[in-house]
Chains A and B, each alone.
Chain A
Amino acid sequence: MEIKIVKDIMGANEQIARENRQLFDRNKVFVVNVMASPGAGKTSLILETIKRLKGKVEVGVVEGDISSSLDAEAIGKEGVPVVQINTGGECHLDANMTSTALGSLPLGNIRLLLIENVGNLVCPAEFNLGEDLRVLVSSTPEGDDKPFKYPLMFHEADVVLVNKIDLLPYLKFDVDTFANTIRGINQKVKVFPLSCTTGEGVDRWVDWLLSQVKG
Chain B
Amino acid sequence: MHELSITQSMLDLVLEQAQKAGAKEVGKINLVLGEMTWVVDRSVRFYFDFLSKGTAAEGATLSFKVVPTTARCRNCAKEFKLGEFDWTCPHCKGNNIEIVGGKELFVESIEVE
- Interface residue ranges, A against B (CB under 8 Å): 1-13, 90-92, 94, 122-123, 126-127, 145, 147-148, 151-152, 155, 180-181, 183-185, 187
Contact = CB atoms under 8 A, between A and B. Distances in A.
A92 B27 CA distance: 31
Contact residue range for chain B?
35 or more
B23 interface: yes
Nearest to B89: A184
A151 B109 CA distance: 28
A12 B88 CA distance: 36
A9 B62 CA distance: 14
Nearest to B18: A3
Contacts of A5: 13-14, 17, 106-110
Interface in B22-45: 23, 31, 36-38
Query: Which label, helix, strand, loop or mixed, suits the secondary structure of the A interface?
Result: mixed
Given A9-B107, A126-B6, A155-B99, A148 B84 contact: yes
B10 interface: yes
Contacts, number: 104
B24 to A, nearest CB: 11
Interface string B33-74: 000111000000000000000000000000000000101000
A122 B110 contact: no
B106 A8 contact: yes
Interface of B: 1-2, 4-6, 9-10, 12-14, 17-18, 21, 23, 31, 36-38, 69, 71, 82, 84-85, 87-88, 95-99, 103, 105-113
Query: Which label, helix, strand, loop or mixed, suits the secondary structure of the B interface?
Result: mixed
17 contacts: A1-B111, A3-B112, A4-B108, A5-B109, A8-B106, A9-B9, A11-B9, A11-B13, A12-B9, A12-B13, A13-B5, A123-B1, A126-B37, A127-B2, A148-B85, A184-B95, A185-B98
Given A5-B17, A9-B13, A184-B97, A152 B38 contact: yes
Contact of B105 (A126, A181, A183, A184): A126
B71 to A, nearest CB: 7
Contacts of B9: 9-13
B111 A2 contact: yes
A183 B10 CA distance: 33
Contacts of A4: 108-109
